[in-house]
Structure 1
Amino acid sequence: MQDQIIIPACFSSGEKLMDDSAGVTRSGQSVFMSTYRTKIADQCRLITITWCKNLLLHGLSVSVEGPEGESQYTCKVELKPWYFWRKQGSKRFVVEGKLVDIYWDLKAAKFNGETEPGSDYYVAVVCDEEVVLLIGDLKKDAYRKTRCRPALIDPILVSRKEHIFGKKKFFTRMKFHEKSRLHEISIECKCRSNNISVNGNAPNGIDPEMEIKIDGHLVIHVKHLQWKFRGNESINVNKVKLEVYWDVHDWLFSPGLRHALFIFKPTYLSSTPSLVSATSSSPLFVSSLESTPLSSQTGSSFSLEGLNGSRSSDFCLFLYAWKVD
């Protein structure tokens, strides 16, 4: 057993962190959550890896889903800015009678100014002498440290949730499936001057619009954003159909620091040309947004399957873009 790790109060775990928008706003912290589904303690459960960073804190949290679906079992690690902090260690807890060990090695982790490391690290979850979840590139070091074999069932990445801050541009990266390369996604909110008066369609003669680019290519261009602040489009990128949903209502109509929500949902296509194209918005989803804003549909259980005939993947990216004036 390791010594108790002291975590600042602002670093909470699991969905509580994601739902507490006030806490994220106050601390201005970037949050990256990756949720995996795998077999642990004889049941299929969700494991959530959370990286959190603000001016005062850099932390890691690993939580395992409890019997009622809540994140009941949690391991927290504070990445301290000074030299003598525990860059390598382990922690143990019990999940319904089964021992679960969390191992981490961040001694040489390269963050490059980001919230989560890009290389030279590992975080491993072990149960029944199997590594049920392993993230990072130091896989050999992880198996050597844990002295455990890989699990027979590979974990599935279910969702990824990110809180990011910016003024006009927002950037993130995502894989459309486990073996694909990382794709660069950029979102930009623009305001164009026009001749419409204050009593016209755009206030103060400003006509907001939004551009979404993937790998530098413009894939979605929304004009007259004040009327199209919620919607969705389907695009094809490298034989993958990508459903993109947005809700930027609070950017336009709510005072103070507010976030927009973007959802990226890949689906597999059997045969599609390897180029980018766009299709029209889905009336089914647009009508549902009128009664239920995207900003209230933040859980990984939010199902996007059934909106099209293609076979859906398990992965979904939720991007919370906080606009700083």
Structure 2
Amino acid sequence: MRDFPSCFGESGVQVSDASSNSSKTSQNLVTCIYSTHLCGTSCMISITWSKNIMGQCLSIGVDDSNNQSLCKVDIKPWLFSKRKGSKSTEADNTKVDVFWDLSNAKFGSGPEPVEGFYVAVLFDFHIVLLLGDLLKEAYRKTNAGPPPHNATFIAKKEHIFGKKIYCTKAQFCDRGQAHDLMIECETIGLKDPCLVIRVDKKRVMVVKRLLWKFRGNQTILVDGLPVEVFWDVHNWLFDSSMGNAVFMFQTCASNEKSLMWGSSQMLTEPQLWRLGFSLILYAWKSE
């Protein structure tokens, strides 16, 4: 969770990307962040799906409200095994159990399963996070009932690839509607490149004179809610060896938005998550 963008400046957004020096073979991953409670205090659960030549991988981390790691469970590639199972550990004197079944999971173009699976995280034998569509199987395997309050989906980080058009599915709030998100930007051979963002094929944002506005922010409306879009396409325009641009879609109340870019203070990740839902996209140009 520590490589999420977290630095906002007065004249736009300076988005740090700790992954920019990684090889592209390691960038086929999606990280989702959920907020819940452990022993009465707030904590965050990170679910990271990744894919390599050995198969799919799953990593689950639990951090406290100060962004300190409490525990981590890694499920290695299951190309030949470990498609279902469980692991136990402890966090802050609390037993943490992880159950998963991906033996019949179906995957799309990315490393994140879309159906036919479940992943359950339990604190002291109580489900705090349940993902997937095999709910009955998860309750039967864990011997636990539905959680009184499932963890809240607060952030997602994803790597996307393209030459001119970059597409993904976007959910801008917990349990919100899924939208088709498209980022268009042609930078090769153009004196005046332009950035276009579409939601469900509808054009919601256009940035002209991109050579001068390679970093910035702008508000769009999605489902009637304001969503602040931050972009940093410096590498696309001026450093092709790096290759990636960074976009963040942030939902928050209007009084909180002014706090974010009205000052030059650094915001920690827990502070950032409390402002609303964050979708961070690392957009890589394909060869």
Q: Which has the higher strand share?
A: 2
Does the alignment reach a TM-score above 0.5?
A: yes
Counterpart of 1:276 in structure 2 is none
- 1:228 equivalent to 2:213? Answer yes
Shift of 1:24: 3.3
Counterpart of 1:218 in structure 2 is 203
Contact 2:183 2:195 in 1 (8 A): yes
Counterpart of 1:15 in structure 2 is 2
Shift of 1:16: 6.5
1:22-101 matches, cutoff 5 A = 24-65=22-63, 69-81=67-79, 84-101=80-97
Contact 2:126 2:144 in 1 (8 A): yes
Counterpart of 1:261 in structure 2 is 246
Shift of 1:155: 1.2
What SS is found at the alignment partner of 1:303?
A: helix
- 1:320 equivalent to 2:282? Answer yes
What SS is found at the alignment partner of 1:183?
A: strand
In structure 1, distance between residues paired with 2:78 and 2:280: 28
Amino acid paired to 2:78: K
> What CA deviation, in whole Å up to 9, does each residue of 1:77-104 have, x standing for no partner?
12333xx311100000011221110000
Contact 1:52 1:59 in 2 (8 A): yes
What SS is found at the alignment partner of 2:213?
A: coil
- 1:187 equivalent to 2:193? Answer no
- Quick check: which has more Rg, 1 or 2? 1
Contact 1:107 1:121 in 2 (8 A): yes
Contact 1:192 1:209 in 2 (8 A): no
Counterpart of 2:134 in structure 1 is 138
Contact 1:31 1:164 in 2 (8 A): no
Amino acid paired to 1:264: F
Picking from 230, 233, 239, the partner of 1:248 is 233
- 1:102 equivalent to 2:102? Answer no
Bigger relative contact order, structure 1 or 2, given CA contacts below 8 A and separation 6+? 2
Shift of 1:207: 1.8
In structure 1, distance between residues paired with 2:108 and 2:24: 24
Amino acid paired to 1:15: R
What SS is found at the alignment partner of 1:184?
A: strand
Shift of 1:167: 2.0
Shift of 1:239: 1.6
Amino acid paired to 1:182: A
Relative distance call for 1:171 and 1:247 in structure 2 (3 A) is same
Aligned residues: 274
Contact 2:172 2:278 in 1 (8 A): no
In structure 2, distance between residues paired with 1:209 and 1:55: 36
Contact 1:239 1:268 in 2 (8 A): no
Amino acid paired to 1:303: L
In the superposition, the TM-score normalised over structure 1's length comes to 0.74
Shift of 1:217: 0.7
Relative distance call for 1:249 and 1:41 in structure 2 (3 A) is same
Counterpart of 1:272 in structure 2 is none
Q: RMSD of the TM alignment (CA)?
A: 3.1
Amino acid paired to 2:28: S
Contact 1:32 1:163 in 2 (8 A): yes
